[in-house]
Structure 1
Amino acid sequence: MEKKRKSGTAYLMQLAGKYKLHLFVSALFGIASALCSFVPYVMVYRSILVLLDGEGNALRYGLIAAAAIAGKFLCSIVSGTFSHIGAFNTLYNVRTQISRHIAKVNLGFFTDHASGEIKKVIIEDVERIERFLAHQIPDVTSAICAPVIVFIYLLTINVPMALCLLVPVVLGLIIQGVAMAITGKQMPTYHRLLEKLNTAIMQFINGMPVMKAYNMTAESYRDYADTVEEYNAFWKRCTKSQGYTYGLFVALVESGILFALPLGGLLYFRGTLPVQDYLYFMVMSMVFLSSLLNLMNLAMMFSQIMS
């Protein structure tokens, strides 16, 4: 019985083969980098306590913040190194498999498939795997895991205020779901037009001697000009349809303070939220979801890769 082929991210991991470990290590260091970026804000909170209550050592908190900033950049470098090693080796394996497969197919295959279509698969399609594995995997893992860990810490300070910061997260995830649904419907058209464009470019280049001999311009080559216009019109439609979801997502990620400010003020006047905690949540509401901005291009990139 033939073994069922995996799909989605599981299939991408299958393509990575032995380099899955590199991607896993990259994701871990990506999470560590994101967590280090939050440490200075925790130290700000500790410093506020020193100023208001005289508890702790402000100098020590400053040194911890400086060490966290250095750790953030170090972890980011290590994460990028491992992700790119895994990604480029995966690309090498995939292109090798494609080349071996093409060498075995019958000549009729090349009659039925234009050179631009084959070029798109070997170059553009495979290259998107690199961008996803090298950048999206560490970004997505850090964008998801870091806020979860920080949220758990915020719960130890004040539960209602921490829960308040989840409102933009839930709304943002809904917007991302809508964006992925819209993008998924557009991907078949995108790949068809890109194949058509690659084919037209190849034909245009091959016909260059004839164009020069008869003093023709690129505009005279209607197939090429029409394909470029069609591809351009497609991206304009995509931009219009996806602009609203991207704009809403960015606005929601940056809107934490709109929810934290009134609730914090209410709790403060009721005497259930100390002023130092109120100030700290105001700071965190502006940076708590900053890592989620890495998910902005996830819908488009994931839909392209999966299709």
Structure 2
Amino acid sequence: MEQKRTGLSYVFTLAKEERGKLSLGMLLAVFSSALSFGPYLVVYQILLLIIKQEVTLPAMLGWAGIGIAAAVLQAILTSFAGICSHTAAFNTMHRIKVRVLEHMSKFNLGFFQEHAPGQIKTTLFDDVDRIETFLAHSTLELAQAIVVPLMMFIFMLRLNWIMALIMLVPMILGIAIPMALMGRYPDLTDEFAGDTEKLNASANEFITAMPVIKMYHLTAEKFEQYRNSLKIYTDCWIKMCESSCNPLSIALVVLDSAILFTLPVGGWLYLRDSLSAASYLLFILLTMCFFTSFLNMVTIAMQSMELGSGLDNVKKIMDMETMKSGQQTLSQTGCYGIDFDNVTFNYTQGGKDALSDVDIHLEPGSLNAFVGPSGAGKTTAVQLLGRYWDVSSGTIKIGGVPVTELQTENLSDLTAFVFQDVFLLEDTLLENIRMGTDATEEQVRQAAKAAQIDDFIMSLPKGYATRIGDEGVKLSGGQQQRISIARAILKDAPIVVFDEATSYSDIENEHKIQLALQNLLRGKTTIMIAHRLHTIRNADKIVVFQDGRVVEQGTHDELIASGSTYSHMWDTYTRETIGEE
């Protein structure tokens, strides 16, 4: 297997489809940069004419015309070089983002719970955008900074090798000293990338928590996590500035004062008749523009350090193992049982088990309930069924086939999940229920009726064409939940998982949804995670979780008769419910 490369070589690996455009852009940039010396050479030739007292109008106009032509051609080449590099950069950025998204789509869904949205956003946008900026601009500057000075140095060596070597002195001082002083900068760029991720994550959390923040009259300054993240980000930015300002200042001063090296040495050589007056003037003119490219090299070096931290994040994503898809498939129209065979799972290797030795058998077409205190392992169990993560040991089977042996798409077709936290697109209600399927509007309406949301939708002026989100109608928690239930009903998967699916509903709508679900879920294997125990009294099987283990299984009446864990839970629940009433 080919070893993946890092650094600038990795950038060009990512941009391999656009190497032709990049190479052409860099070549045009070299010619353009070479033409930038044209005006200086024209001035040199005019000075020669003046020294030799051979000034004539045709000669002056001729050299002026050459200078103007060089400037016009330089502008044209610069434009075409920019077009090539920017086209290559944007195409590469698009490919990288698509590639990263496609790769991430093959991860276990648990990845998106373990990584904050701000962290993913930083990698997908900020880090990839750095690559685009580097390819669009820095590649041209890099070509100019390397090739053009090399060409000019060879030319100057032939003109006078002593003066050519003298011109290397400010170059060495102007680049070597700043780079030596910026030893901490690469570490700071890594730190800065991490701080940016944390800031984006806390900013996202701050925005999400805005209703609570407004309710308690909090400000950004009082939102501690955001304030701390912002302070750390700012402190790191200041350290980066302090680490780079002095070295850059030294580079700027040394390279801009290069004439202090060439002027006295050239004068000394001229007085010894080792350098002609014309060559002396040419070296002075070239000194004024020769070192601009080297200053660009310092800037490019800094950009490459900043780019490196972003590349590390992109590479980490691309190097992560994807969820391995099986080869077997089951029909979406079938009816399947579910088996948890001695399942153990922990989120971190060596950490505490979230589930331990879980054995459950759910009959095909049965209604099942998972109950237990918060953190007992109920949600983890159903997430393992959908391969949010893969089990640490043991096997989960659907219809006798381990979920790891099912094709990923097939597993998705077989299961429908309705969680408490509902995600809605900023689109029409029709598309939010349809969710990319080819269902007709009538089929969508039937699902919405079953989820007890059709009456509300039809009461809106635009009905199912009503948009939701910032530019449309706002939905309550219960309404959002019923939209999510309608999605699951429309999907018509043989296995349905509800995680407190009626938690936001009032008693009347909760009762209607329960009645609808009893009819619509007939023949489907259903798992309901419930805290409202009265909603699952008629379940075919109730599985009681405690501390990551299954402590009881049975029907409501059987578990009540046992007088054990579920019985105590029921007694507590009924007392609290009566107390509330």
Are residues 280 and 17 of structure 1, via their aligned partners in 2, closer, same or farther at CA, if it must alter by over 3 Å?
closer
**Number of matched pairs:** 306
Shift of 1:186: 1.4
Is the aligned partner of 1:93 residue 2:95?
A: yes
Partner of 1:195: 197
2:181, 2:141 → 1: CA distance? 18
Partner of 2:215: 213
* Cα distance per residue 1:90-114 (max 9 Å; x no partner): 0110000111112111122122211
Contact 2:141 2:296 in 1 (8 A): yes
Partner of 1:174: 176
1:13, 1:240 → 2: CA distance? 31
1:133, 1:178 → 2: CA distance? 26
Shift of 1:228: 0.7
Secondary structure at 1:134 match in 2 = helix
Shift of 1:55: 5.6
Partner of 2:145: 143
Partner of 2:397: none
Contact 2:33 2:74 in 1 (8 A): yes
Structure 1 counterpart of 2:123, one-letter code: V
Shift of 1:179: 5.5
Structure 2 counterpart of 1:260, one-letter code: T
Partner of 2:308: 306
1:266, 1:21 → 2: CA distance? 48
Q: Counting strand residues as a fraction of each chain, which structure ranks higher?
A: 2
Partner of 2:66: 64
Q: Pairwise mapping of residues 286-301 of structure 1 onto structure 2 (< 5 A)?
A: 286-301=288-303
Partner of 2:15: 16
2:155, 2:46 → 1: CA distance? 17
Partner of 2:46: 47
Are residues 299 and 10 of structure 1, via their aligned partners in 2, closer, same or farther at CA, if it must alter by over 3 Å?
closer
Structure 2 counterpart of 1:93, one-letter code: R
Contact 2:119 2:198 in 1 (8 A): yes
2:167 pairs, out of 160, 165, 168, with 165
2:243, 2:7 → 1: CA distance? 25
Contact 2:130 2:307 in 1 (8 A): yes
Q: CA RMSD in A?
A: 1.6
Larger deviation, residues 21-30 vs 7-16: 7-16
Contact 2:21 2:88 in 1 (8 A): yes
Shift of 1:238: 1.5
Partner of 1:29: 28
Q: Counting helix residues as a fraction of each chain, which structure ranks higher?
A: 1
Partner of 1:251: 253
Is the aligned partner of 1:234 residue 2:267?
A: no
Shift of 1:54: 4.2
Relative contact order higher in (CA < 8 Å, ≥ 6 apart)? 1
Secondary structure at 2:218 match in 1 = coil
1:58, 1:147 → 2: CA distance? 28
1:3, 1:269 → 2: CA distance? 61
Structure 2 residue runs without a partner (length 5+): 310-581
Q: Pairwise mapping of residues 62-141 of structure 1 onto structure 2 (< 5 A)?
A: 62-141=64-143
Structure 2 counterpart of 1:123, one-letter code: F
Are residues 9 and 237 of structure 1, via their aligned partners in 2, closer, same or farther at CA, if it must alter by over 3 Å?
closer
Secondary structure at 1:104 match in 2 = coil
Shift of 1:47: 1.0
Shift of 1:158: 2.2
Contact 1:154 1:162 in 2 (8 A): yes
1:108, 1:99 → 2: CA distance? 15
Structure 2 counterpart of 1:26, one-letter code: G
1:176, 1:146 → 2: CA distance? 22
* Cα distance per residue 1:160-218 (max 9 Å; x no partner): 12221111112233135325633212122111111110101100110111112222211
Structure 1 counterpart of 2:239, one-letter code: R
Contact 1:253 1:290 in 2 (8 A): yes
* Cα distance per residue 1:121-155 (max 9 Å; x no partner): 00100000001100000111101111111222222
Shift of 1:294: 2.2
1:236, 1:165 → 2: CA distance? 34
2:99, 2:92 → 1: CA distance? 11
Structure 2 counterpart of 1:15, one-letter code: L
Structure 2 counterpart of 1:147, one-letter code: P
Relative to the length of structure 2, the TM-score reads 0.51
Contact 1:176 1:299 in 2 (8 A): no
* Cα distance per residue 1:32-90 (max 9 Å; x no partner): 11101001111111111111114683322211111111111111101100000000000
2:135, 2:178 → 1: CA distance? 20
Structure 1 counterpart of 2:299, one-letter code: N
Shift of 1:10: 2.3
Contact 2:33 2:144 in 1 (8 A): yes
1:246, 1:202 → 2: CA distance? 35
1:25, 1:279 → 2: CA distance? 34
1:265, 1:4 → 2: CA distance? 55
2:281, 2:150 → 1: CA distance? 21
Contact 2:188 2:236 in 1 (8 A): no
Structure 1 counterpart of 2:247, one-letter code: T
2:194, 2:41 → 1: CA distance? 50
1:292, 1:268 → 2: CA distance? 27
Contact 2:182 2:247 in 1 (8 A): no
Secondary structure at 2:273 match in 1 = coil
2:265 pairs, out of 240, 263, 266, with 263
Shift of 1:297: 2.3
Secondary structure at 1:181 match in 2 = coil
Secondary structure at 1:297 match in 2 = helix
Structure 2 counterpart of 1:17, one-letter code: K
Name which one, 1 or 2, has greater alpha-carbon Rg: 2
Shift of 1:117: 0.7
1:17, 1:283 → 2: CA distance? 40
Are residues 158 and 137 of structure 1, via their aligned partners in 2, closer, same or farther at CA, if it must alter by over 3 Å?
same
